[in-house]
Structure 1
């Protein structure tokens, strides 16, 4: 009996952790999906541990930057809402690319007022954007380019996680479309404004909000849509890796061509937001509230990557808890980064990403 308890209790505990901390409400259907889920949970646990150990480092200094313009996708809730607040405190003008500008304005203004910020002092613009729809991205970029001459900060923040399988109108899997392709295209279309804003002493910045789970992601060039063996965590990890490799290659070209722009990617932390609405942790929200970072804490690394003077000459970095950190093994492999870049350009029909001709 004692032996059974000694074996049974740990097994029961591990099973409970597996079922209630699953990245998706879906159950793994085969061995590869099960392995993906286990790796996801291990990576998530490591992320939580890192957040706890390095919590004293997770600080960002805010300072006034009047005259600068930032564009953020998904700035109307979660981490994005807190990013907007911090940028407002820096006196930065902000463009929010959101699905519903009217509702987003109400949500942002309510939050800022509750935080004691005078709305009259804020320069906020709300424009309709469905980042997962390439037509919407192009229309949005056309509007922005007509209204603004410069963009100093591009924060590619909007994203989804562990959503059920769905192909977008463009024929792309949802995670790749929203987390990666849309932001890839948006960055391409806004590059002239970023280049116009940057100077040798104060470069414009592209910030890709990724995740620590990019480290276990793999780019499946034979099946980018995951049609053969779709599992939400696998698709999410792939999209997050794509964001990291994209930022790395982008910055390499900026450096080679002497552009006054730099690009970085980051992990905001394991953060308690509605990004987890499709995960099993949704059944136990108190665990998320207890163990995960708050949205305010999660916003710090994003803002650090966007404005910190410490990164002024440090493009091509991966940042976690407001410090440079190690990334995926392909992150330093320029061949792999360029391969993904070229494949993505082909997918999106981009023939001159850097507007050289």
Structure 2
């Protein structure tokens, strides 16, 4: 399968990117790993970056590590709908623009568990929290963009989405952590395409794309069982990208001039790639959007 044949990391050479002075970005899960590297690169291009995460100490440490860049940390727990709403409201109350939203936070390979809102954990953190956050910030993104200088939504997916089956947040009778993770990553691609279609239909200066960073040696793999962990360490040096290499693709999606006004992409190694056949199912896209609005308490737009 496509998911099983994920390539060893060919070195993606990010083109020279134009300065992004005066632009504002939010990166979820930006306190460590690929999110931290994404935030760091965007800040070095001149963006003011809000690192959004659920670990205040990690956030403070991340800001301290790069004191010369234009960073700030803001707390949000993406598994808690109330927390997502509070974060979005606090940001909007500041009256700041928003030009880039990188939905990067995620988890994988967890034992079966539910959030306090009652959702399967991978689905809640990787997808549903980002669905709500994006919708709550969408008006700000629309106001901040303009034709020829669109705002951008970048959703972090994975090759595992090729094996995903969307069950609208419910787990099958035989729960597997990989199946739950794959579902959440497929949901992100379906969401990306439906969102882009609505934005284009309305003529709004916002684009949405999904990114596949490849296999990246990040804390996501901390939940692998101990034998696999031991095997992963030597393999990671050969097959896995570093967090900086993985982040280069999300930075490219967020800032590359050749992607200006171009949305609805699934990007791997800086190139548009076919995502799974299921991800192009327009009826499933619409069904997932409608169900997601119900789950998070949004009126469907």
Give the TM bin, normalised by the shorter chain: over 0.9
More deviation, 84-93/171-180: 84-93
Deviations 1:182-207 (A, max 9, x none): 00000011011101110011100111
SS at 1:127's partner residue? strand
Alpha-carbon displacement from aligned partner over 1:227-264 (angstroms, at most 9, x marks no partner): 52210000000000000010100000000011110100
CA deviation digits over 1:50-74, x for unaligned, max 9? x33xx3x442433211100000101
Structure 1 residue 330 displacement after superposition: 2.4
Corresponding residue for residue 21 of structure 2: 66
Shift of 1:335: 1.8
Q: Give the corresponding residue for 1:250.
A: 195
Name the residue aligned to 1:188.
135
- 1:102 deviates by 3.8
Q: What corresponds to 1:4 in structure 2?
A: none
Residue among 38, 43, 56 paired with 1:88:
43
Structure 2 Cα separation of the partners of residues 335 and 130 of structure 1: 30
- Does the alignment pair 1:145 with 2:89? no
* 8 Å contact kept, 2:17–2:257: no
Secondary structure of residue in 1 paired with 2:210:
strand
Structure 2 residue matching 1:229: 3-state secondary structure: coil
1:104 aligns to 2:56 (yes or no): no
Number of corresponding residues: 298
Instruction: Tell me the equivalent position of 2:245.
Output: 297
> 3-state DSSP class of the match of 1:315?
coil
Residue 198 (structure 1) aligned with residue 157 (structure 2): no
1:17-58 Cα deviation digits (max 9, x unpaired): xxxxxxxxxxxxxxxxxxxxxx6xx724x1134x33xx3x44
Aligned to 1:135: 82
Helix, strand or coil at the partner of 1:319: strand
SS at match of 2:7: helix
| Paired residues of 2:217 and 2:243 also in contact (CA < 8 A) | yes
1:307-353 CA distance string (max 9 Å, x none): 11121122011000111111010232322211111111111121144
CA-based RMSD = 1.5
CA contact (8 A) 1:67 1:92 kept: yes
CA–CA distance in structure 1, aligned partners of residues 120 and 13 of structure 2: 33
Is contact 1:137–1:182 with CA below 8 Å preserved after alignment? yes
Answer whether contact 1:131 1:137 (CA < 8 A) is retained. Answer: yes
Distance 2:115 2:15 in 1: 37
More helix per residue: 1
Give the superposition deviation at 1:163: 0.7
| Number of the residue aligned with 1:160 | 107
Give the Cα separation in 2 of the matches to 1:124 and 1:148: 17
> Which residue, 239, 242, 254 being the options, matches 2:184?
239
Work out whether residues 95 and 127 of structure 1, in 8 Å CA contact, stay in contact via their aligned partners in 2.
yes
Work out which of the residue numbers 217, 222, 236 in structure 1 matches 2:164: 217
In structure 2, C-alpha distance between the alignment counterparts of 1:299 and 1:180, rounded to whole Å: 19
Provide structure 2 residue ranges, at least 5 long, that are not aligned to the other structure.
none
CA gap of 1:147–1:101, structure 2 versus 1, over 3 A, is farther
267, 282, 285: which is aligned to 1:319? 267
Bigger radius of gyration among the two: 1
With the length of structure 1 as denominator, give the TM-score of the two structures. Answer: 0.80
TM value normalised by structure 2: 0.94
Q: Matched residues in 2 for 1:271 and 1:149: separation?
A: 32
Partner of 2:175: 230
Instruction: Judge conservation of contact 1:60–1:301 (CA < 8 Å) in 2.
Output: no
SS at 1:48's partner residue?
A: coil
CA distance in 2, matches of 1:180, 1:168: 13
